[in-house]
Amino acid sequence: MKTKKFSTLLLAGLCCMTLASGCGADGAANPAENSAGETQAGEEGNEGTESEKETVGEFSTQDTEGETYTQEIFAEYDLTLVNVFTTWCSPCVNEIPDLEELHNEMKEKGVNVVGIVLDAAGTAGNPDEEVVEKAKLLAEKTGATYPFLIPDASNFNGRLSGIAAVPETFFVDQDGNIVGETYTGSRSLEEWKEIVETELKGEGK
């Protein structure tokens, strides 16, 4: 009985710890014990995992306002921070104002920010309109002006298919290559500034 009670308390504690900074992409909390290629969500000072050189490929999709975007969105900036999130993930939502501030501050350095609303993908290539509306309201509430893209059928050349926890953030250069490291879990504005500066210098490549 004592062993069972201890196990229950331990599991509850781990769930609370991980809910603070990351969520499972299927709606569950991000597991406390990470699988290969994941970092502990929200663990301060913890670097992301090394990304293999890959590309987002060609795509055509819309944002939540109905504007069409292609891979050319990346050609306009030296580096683009791509933040994959869901509308129901509290840590995802809570860091959007910081990402908006980062977006405004880093433009002059050739850095852009793009959001991808993972739960808006829907089925059979059709976006989930209910989620799209939630994302619109979320942008208004948080003051986000950077685009919230709806994943297209290619899932960014398959890059989004293996995401198990959100928020997940990666970087894309102006040629459409995924560069540097992948970061699972939310970060503060100051942490993102430091990470972006590192990626700009090529230290994370």
Whether the pLDDT of residue 101 is over 50: the answer is: yes
Report the distance separating Cα 97 and Cα 73, nearest Å.
21
Average pLDDT over residues 178-187: 96
Would you list the domain boundaries of the chain? 2-201
Alpha-helical runs (H) found in the chain: 2-19, 90-106, 129-142, 189-201
pLDDT in tens, 123-147: 777 899 999 999 999 999 999 999 9
Q: What is the residue-averaged pLDDT of the chain?
A: 81
Confidence (pLDDT) at 29: 40
Handedness of CA 126, 130, 22, 100 (dihedral sign): positive
Q: What are phi and psi of 132, to 5 degrees?
A: -60, -45
pLDDT in tens, 42-73: 333 344 444 457 899 999 999 999 999 999 99
Exposed (0-12), middle (13-18) or buried (19+): which is 17, by Cβ within 10 Å?
Answer: middle
Higher pLDDT, 36 or 137: 137
Higher pLDDT, 185 or 23: 185
Architecture of the domain made up of 2-201: 3-Layer(aba) Sandwich (3.40)
155 pLDDT band (50/70/90 cuts)? Answer: confident
Contact 143, 137 (CB under 8 A): no
pTM of the model: 0.78
